[in-house]
Structure 1
Amino acid sequence: MANNIQGFAMIGAQSIVFSITNLRTLKTIERGKYPVAIGDDFYAEHEILPETVDTIVQAFDAINQIFKDYGVTTVNVYASTSWAEADNAEFVRDQLYTRTGWLIRTTSLSEEAFFRTQAIMVKFPQFASITQKGTVLIDISSGSVELTTFCQGTFGFSRNLSLGPLRVYEIMSDVQRSVTNYVEVMRDYIDSRLLDFMRLLPQGVEYTNMILMGSSLSIFQNLIPEGKRQVETDRPGFDMLYDEVTKASDQYLADTYDLTSNQTSLVLPTVLLVYRLIETLNSQSIWISDLKAIDGLEVHAAHAGGFKKLGFDPDEEIVISANNLAKRYQVDDKHMEATRTFALQLFDRLKKLHGMGKRERLLLEVAATVSDIGSYIETHKHYAHSNYIIMASEIMGLNELEVTMVATITRFHSSVTPQSDLKNFPMMSTENRLVVAKLSAILRVADSLDASRQQKIQQLRVSVKPNKVLLSAKVNDDIELERWTLARKGKFFSEVFGVGLELKGRNTL
C-alpha cells in the first residue's frame, strides 16, 4: 500500500482512538475506538495498573489487525499529555513496545494544542468565516481543558487548564457526599480556576463564537446529527440544556442521552464548565465539533510528509506563541526584532558553515524572540530567569525537548559562556547539544549587533571568507560598543565554527 495511507492511534484517558487516513486527501478510510479507562488509574492511583496494561495490549492487537487488513505499513502511535501523569508511564511504554512492537510517543500540552488548531483550521468548514470575529476553541479532554483564541482568521493564544471533567469529578467527589449545594460549590471551583485564563485574554476582543471539541464532550457529542461533523446552537439553546442537566438525575441523563454510568458522572462538570465560559465570554454562537486530537495528527503528518499543502504555515502559530510570551514579559520590542532579524540573517547566510535545517531555524527564531523575558524578573543575570520561565511555559507546537533546547539557547545568549560541548546537559543527545551550541553561538552574535539597544545597524551583509566571517554594516552612529561586545561574545562562535568574526561599519549619515 502507498505510504500516503497511514494508521494512527491516540491513547487518551478514557479510550484509544484509531484511524486509517489517506494523507493526500485527508479522507478517513476507517476510524474507531476502544474504551480503556486509563485515566481512572492515573488520576486515582497515579500509575497504570497491570490489568490496564493487558487491556491496552488487547486493544493494540485488535487495532493492528485492522491495519493489516487494510495493508497499512506505517503506524503512528501517540499518547496524550495525561499519560505522563502516571508515575510508571515510561515503564509501561517500554512494556507495550516489548509486547506489541508499537513505540508510543507522548505529546506535550503545547503539541496537543498545536495539533488541535491544525485540525480545526483544515477540517472545520466554517473556520475562515467565523474566526473573522473573536472565537475561542475549547478542547475538553478528561484531565484538562485547552482554550485557544482566534481573531481575524489568525491564531491568538492558547492556555491549558487542569479542569477536565474527570479530574474535576475526582477532586469534587468527596464534596458531593458532604454538601447539599454541590452544583454551586463546583461552579465556584471552576470559576476560581478560570480567573488566570480570563486575565490573560487580549483586551478589546469580543469572543462572539465558541467551538467545542475533544475526547470528553459528554452529551454535547450526542447533539451532532448523524452523518455530520458539527452542529451550531445559540445561547438560549444552551441555557435550556444547562437547566436540564443541573436539575436532572443521573438515571434520567443516562436514559435520555444513552450514556454509561462513567459518562453520566462527567456530564455535570462538562456542562458547568462550558456554561461558565459562555457566560464569562458572552459568546452567542456555539459550535459543537466531533474533531479530535487524532484529526490534528493526520493533518500534521500530511503536511510534514509533503503529502498535502495546507494553505497556511503551521510554524506561524509557534512564532505567534513565542511573541505572546515575549509580550507577556514586556520585552524591548525593537531590540527583540533587531536581534531576531540578525539571527535569522546569520543562519541563512552561514548555512554551509552550520549545516542545519528548517526546524533548527525555527528554534533560533523562537529563542531570539524570548531570550530577554527574564529581564521582567531581574536584569542582572536575566538569562537565568529566561531559562526557567521558558521551561515553565507553553510554546505552541514545540515538544518538551525543543522547549528545553530553546531555554538552554537563551540561557547562553548573554555574557555567560557555555562549555563548547555542553557536557552539563546529559539529558540531550550529542547531536542536540551540538545544535544548541551552534544556535547559541549565532544568537550571541546577533545580540551583540544591537548591544546599545539603539538599532544603530541599519543594514547587514554577511560574507564567509576562508578563515573568518565578515559582517559589513551600514550604520547611523558609532558602533564601538557593538564591536567590543562582539569581541567578547563572539569567542564562543569561533570555538563552535572554527572561524573568526570581524565587524566593519560604514556610516550612512
Structure 2
Amino acid sequence: MTQPSATADATDGATATPTANDRLAAIDIGSNSVRIVVARAVDGGYQVLDEERENTRLAASLAATGHLCPDTMAATIAALRSFVTMAQGYNVANIRAIATSAVRDAANGREFCQRIQEELGLKVDIIPPREEGRLSFLSVARAFDVSDKAVAVADIGGGSTEIVLAAGGVVEEVYATRLGAVRVAEACGLTGVCTAKQIDGAERHIDDVLRRHARKPPLAPAMVYGAGGTFTALAWMMLGREGAGEDATARGYRVNRADLNHLIADLARMTLEERSKVSGLNPKRADIIVAGLMVIDRILKHFGVNEVQVHTGGVRDGLLLTMVESSKTSGRALTATERQEAVERFAERCGTDLPHARQVAWMASKLLEELATQLEPSLGLRVSDKPLIEAAAVLSNVGYLVNYDGHHKHSYHLIINSDLPGFERDDLRVVANVARYHRGSRPKQKHKPFAALGVEDQERVAKLAAILRLALALDRTHQQQVNDVAVKVTKSTVEIAIRATGDAEVDLWAARRKVDLFERVFGRSVEFVVTP
C-alpha cells in the first residue's frame, strides 16, 4: 500500500494543456504545513495540475512564546519561494495565498505576512476561523452528497479545529476552537508515551472546549465528515491494519468510534520511534497523532455520532472552488438582477416557498419606498435599503430547513454563513438580523448579533424588521391575494391601503396583530383599509 500525498477531490490533470488564463493556484499556510495546489478551471470546477507540501511546523513555538520563531518562518518562506516558482512555471494567472491559525494567533503574524510580500511579491490573506470552516465545507459538499441531511464537518489543523454544522447542503453554524493537533499535544503532554492520567486530562480538556464553544444542534448530525491531515492519517492507518492493497484510497473511508478508540489506545502506549513505523502514518506526524485522534473521538461523542467519514480535500479545495466561482464575474460587481437571483437560488435550496417570498419582498419594498418618501428624514429610513429588505424578505423563512421551532434564529445563522454574492459583509449582517426579527422578540441589546452592530445599523434593523413583519402578515395565507399597497402618513398615524383580488380578511387579521414593533419604532399607530 502506497500512501499518496494529500490531494484535492478532483481529476488528475497533469497531462492537460490548459490555456494560461484558466490556471489557478491556491496556497494554504497552516500551523503544521504549507501546501499549494495548481489547477485549471473547467466546467464550474477545477482539474489538478500539480501540488506540493512542506512540513514547516510554523506554530512550533507559538504556545510558549506567542510568536512565530525565526527558524520556522525561514522554512516557510523557503517553501513559499519554491511554490511561487512552481506557479510561474505553469504560467498561473490567478494565485491566492491564505494563512490560518498559526499566523492568525501570532503576535508577529501580520509582520510575517508583510515580509512574505516584500521578499516574494506574494500577498497573504489571514482568514478568520469562520471563513476557514466555510472553505472546508465547500470542499466536502463538492465531494459528497450532503443536500438531504444534517451533517457536521470537522477540519483539524495544527492550531485550531473548525466545526461546521449544515443542513440540506447549507451552512448554519461555524465553530472555531483552539483544539489543533499540535496545540492539544503540547498542552496535554501527548507527544510521547501517554499515561492514563494524561489521556483522562486530555479528554476533559477537549470536552470542556467543545461544551463551551460548539453548541449541539437540535438533532444529531447524520454524519461527521473529517478534513485535514489527522483524518487522512486515520484512514491510512486503518487501511494499513487491514492490509489494504496498492489501489486503496483514503477518500470516503469510514471509521467508527470503537475502532478509533482501539487505535488511540495502541498509539498512546508507543514511543515516538515506534509510532513513526506505524503503517500509513507519516513519521513527521507521530508526535501529534494521538492528540489529533482524541479530538476526533471527542467531537463524535459531543455530537452523538458513532462514525466519521474521511475527506481527503480541505481548505485549499474550497479556496479553488471560490476562485473559480469568482472568475465567472471577472471581478465586476453583480447587477441587481444577478444579486436577487443569487438570493432566490439560496432560498430555493433551503426549501422556501418562492411565490410567497417574492410577494412579501415586493410588498416590503413598496412599503419601504412610500414610507421613506413621506416620513421625516430624521427617522433615517432610506429607499436605498430596498435590496436589503427584499433579500431579508425572501430569506426570512430559510430557517425551516433546520427546525420549525426558533426558525427565525436559524434563518439568521444560515444567512450570515451564506457568503451571498453581491452583498458587503456589513450589509449581510443587516439582512441576517432583519430576517431574524421577522417574528418573535423585538431587537434587544442582550442578543449578541444585534448588539454587535453599530448604532445606525441597529436602528436600520429595527425599522426594516418592523416593515417586514407587516409584509409577511399581508400574505399570511400564502395566496398572494394583495395586489397593491399604498401608504399615507400623518403626524400620528400610518394608513396602509390594500387592494386584493379575493377575500384578504385573514391576511388583514394577521397584519393587525403584527403592528406592535412598527408602532414602537415609528411612533405612529397603524390603520389598514381595503380599497376597491
Q: TM-score range by the shorter chain?
A: 0.5 to 0.7
Q: Cα distance, 1:17 vs. partner?
A: 0.9
Q: Which amino acid aligns with 1:269?
A: A
Residue matched to 2:322: 300
Q: Which amino acid aligns with 1:412?
A: E
Unmatched runs of 5 consecutive residues or more in structure 2 = 1-18, 240-245, 331-340, 351-357, 373-381, 388-420, 477-481, 488-494, 500-506
User: Separation in 1 of the partners of 2:473 and 2:155?
Assistant: 42
Q: Cα distance, 1:65 vs. partner?
A: 0.8
Residue matched to 2:529: 506
Residue matched to 2:224: 210
Q: Which moved more, 1:288-297 or 1:475-484?
A: 475-484
Give the 5 Å matches for 1:5-84.
5-24=23-42, 25-84=45-104
Question: Are residue 104 (structure 1) and residue 124 (structure 2) matched?
Answer: yes
Secondary structure of 1:163 counterpart: coil
Distance 1:141 1:371, change over 3 A: farther
Q: Cα distance, 1:115 vs. partner?
A: 1.0
User: Separation in 1 of the partners of 2:310 and 2:222?
Assistant: 15
User: Separation in 2 of the partners of 1:95 and 1:115?
Assistant: 26
Contact 2:24-2:93 within 8 A present in 1 as well: yes
Residue matched to 1:255: 277
User: Separation in 1 of the partners of 2:91 and 2:422?
Assistant: 33
Residue matched to 2:432: 366
Question: Are residue 136 (structure 1) and residue 152 (structure 2) matched?
Answer: yes
User: Separation in 2 of the partners of 1:112 and 1:293?
Assistant: 6
Distance 1:132 1:483, change over 3 A: closer
Contact 1:219-1:257 within 8 A present in 2 as well: no
User: Separation in 2 of the partners of 1:484 and 1:281?
Assistant: 43
User: Separation in 2 of the partners of 1:42 and 1:75?
Assistant: 28
Distance 1:452 1:133, change over 3 A: closer
Distance 1:175 1:449, change over 3 A: same
Contact 1:36-1:55 within 8 A present in 2 as well: yes
2:308 pairs with one of 286, 305, 327: 286
Question: Are residue 191 (structure 1) and residue 235 (structure 2) matched?
Answer: no
Question: Are residue 447 (structure 1) and residue 448 (structure 2) matched?
Answer: no
User: Separation in 2 of the partners of 1:367 and 1:141?
Assistant: 31
User: Separation in 1 of the partners of 2:301 and 2:117?
Assistant: 46
Q: Which moved more, 1:267-276 or 1:215-224?
A: 215-224
Distance 1:18 1:484, change over 3 A: same
Distance 1:314 1:480, change over 3 A: closer
RMSD: 4.7
Q: Which moved more, 1:59-68 or 1:243-252?
A: 243-252
Residue matched to 2:508: 476
Aligned-residue identity in percent: 12
Q: Cα distance, 1:168 vs. partner?
A: 1.0
Superposed CA offset, 1:95-116 (max 9, x none): 2212211111111111111111
Q: Cα distance, 1:60 vs. partner?
A: 2.0
Contact 1:374-1:389 within 8 A present in 2 as well: no
Distance 1:358 1:172, change over 3 A: same
Distance 1:46 1:373, change over 3 A: farther
1:277 pairs with one of 299, 317, 324: 299
Q: Which moved more, 1:227-236 or 1:99-108?
A: 227-236
Contact 1:233-1:287 within 8 A present in 2 as well: yes
Distance 1:504 1:13, change over 3 A: same
User: Separation in 1 of the partners of 2:185 and 2:344?
Assistant: 36
Contact 1:208-1:284 within 8 A present in 2 as well: no
Question: Are residue 169 (structure 1) and residue 213 (structure 2) matched?
Answer: no
Question: Are residue 220 (structure 1) and residue 234 (structure 2) matched?
Answer: yes
Pairs aligned (count):
419
User: Separation in 2 of the partners of 1:255 and 1:413?
Assistant: 58
Superposed CA offset, 1:220-271 (max 9, x none): 1534776745042342543442342233332221112465665212111112
Contact 1:38-1:52 within 8 A present in 2 as well: yes
Q: Which amino acid aligns with 1:6?
A: L
Q: TM-score, normalised by structure 2?
A: 0.64
Contact 2:32-2:182 within 8 A present in 1 as well: no
Distance 1:265 1:444, change over 3 A: same
User: Separation in 1 of the partners of 2:103 and 2:52?
Assistant: 20
Contact 1:146-1:158 within 8 A present in 2 as well: yes
Superposed CA offset, 1:383-406 (max 9, x none): 5444x5468xxxxxxxxxxxx7xx
Secondary structure of 2:21 counterpart: coil
Superposed CA offset, 1:259-289 (max 9, x none): 5665212111112222233345453443212
User: Separation in 2 of the partners of 1:307 and 1:156?
Assistant: 26
Q: Cα distance, 1:117 vs. partner?
A: 1.1
Contact 2:140-2:313 within 8 A present in 1 as well: yes
Q: TM-score, normalised by structure 1?
A: 0.67
Distance 1:169 1:113, change over 3 A: same
Distance 1:314 1:256, change over 3 A: farther
User: Separation in 2 of the partners of 1:92 and 1:354?
Assistant: 40
Superposed CA offset, 1:452-506 (max 9, x none): 9994797596899xxxxx98656837799788667569xxxxxxxxxxxxx9953
Secondary structure of 1:248 counterpart: coil
Distance 1:183 1:285, change over 3 A: closer
Residue matched to 1:147: 163
Contact 1:383-1:413 within 8 A present in 2 as well: no
User: Separation in 1 of the partners of 2:201 and 2:439?
Assistant: 38
Secondary structure of 2:122 counterpart: coil
Distance 1:463 1:241, change over 3 A: same
User: Separation in 2 of the partners of 1:59 and 1:240?
Assistant: 36
